[in-house]
Amino acid sequence: MARRLGRSASVVAAVGALLLCAAPAWAQDDIADPAEWRVRQEIVDHAFSQVGAREDGPNGYPRRYQDIDPAVRRPVEWCGVFVNWAWTKAGVPQRPSMQAAPGAPAVDQGHWATYWQKWGQANGRWKPLAERDVEMGDAIVYGNYPSMVAHVGVVVEVNYDRTGRKATHVRTVEGNVSDRVVYTKWRKLSDLNAGAGLKVSGFVSPF
């Protein structure tokens, strides 16, 4: 299980206090590693910077998403490429490989959305939806491995219940939605889907 950062219903607003000066009292008590918090904020910032970015041809996403990793293909269905780009730019040290290992199934690579679930499970970073354990910077996975009917994006804002521990709503930034990067409205965890029959299975922590 990923280490937990400090939280509140207004967690995004508190980020600025943490980065610019002393952390608020609840954060000082709960944050395991302020450096990890900063990386999560970088993931969010990079994701937000791409909202509205469009393809320049069928699945021809912006080349900058390919330039950071020689294993990234183009053109290709690119929701996983976008998440890999945001995590890589933010300095996440370990990420799903964008190339299947020799002898591994072709689906075992970060281009495929549900591989993020398998990778998260194998590396102790998977958080099933039912746990309501969500933090900004997490990858959100729609569908279950090894299905290729799936999707993945970046969690950029989280609303929590009164305890500050259980998520109730999220907002995300996702690539390859109507051929562009989009910023979603607030959605209840129970309603999270990427279309009929494609519900969220859980989240992958960058740490």
Q: Are 156 and 44 in contact (CB under 8 A)?
A: yes
Is 100 a member of any domain? Answer: yes
DSSP single-letter state for residue 37: H
Is 20 a member of any domain? Answer: no
Residue 198 pLDDT more than 80? yes
User: What are the Cα distances from residue 151, in Å, to 4, 105, 107, 189?
Assistant: 25, 18, 13, 16
Greater model confidence, 6 or 87: 87
The pLDDT tens digits for 36-74 are: 999 999 999 999 999 999 999 999 999 999 999 999 999
Q: How many domains does the chain have?
A: 1
Share of the chain above pLDDT 90, in %: 80
- The two three-digit tokens of residue 109, written as one number: 């690579």
Is 89 a member of any domain? Answer: yes
Is 12 a member of any domain? Answer: no
Q: Are 114 and 144 in contact (CB under 8 A)?
A: yes
Share of the chain above pLDDT 70, in %: 85
Alpha helix (H) residue ranges in 31-161: 34-49, 64-67, 79-90, 115-122
Is 11 a member of any domain? Answer: no
Residue-range definition of the domain harbouring residue 134: 34-204
Is 7 a member of any domain? Answer: no
pLDDT score recorded for residue 196: 74
Within 10 A of 40 (CB to CB), how many other CB atoms are there?
A: 23
Distance CA 63, CA 41 (A): 23
Is 1 a member of any domain? Answer: no
The pLDDT tens digits for 125-166 are: 999 999 999 999 999 999 999 998 999 999 999 999 999 999
Distance CA 80, CA 175 (A): 8
pLDDT score recorded for residue 1: 35
Residues in the chain: 207
Residue 12 pLDDT more than 50? no
When pLDDT is averaged across residues 182-186 and rounded to a whole number, the result is 98
Is 172 a member of any domain? Answer: yes
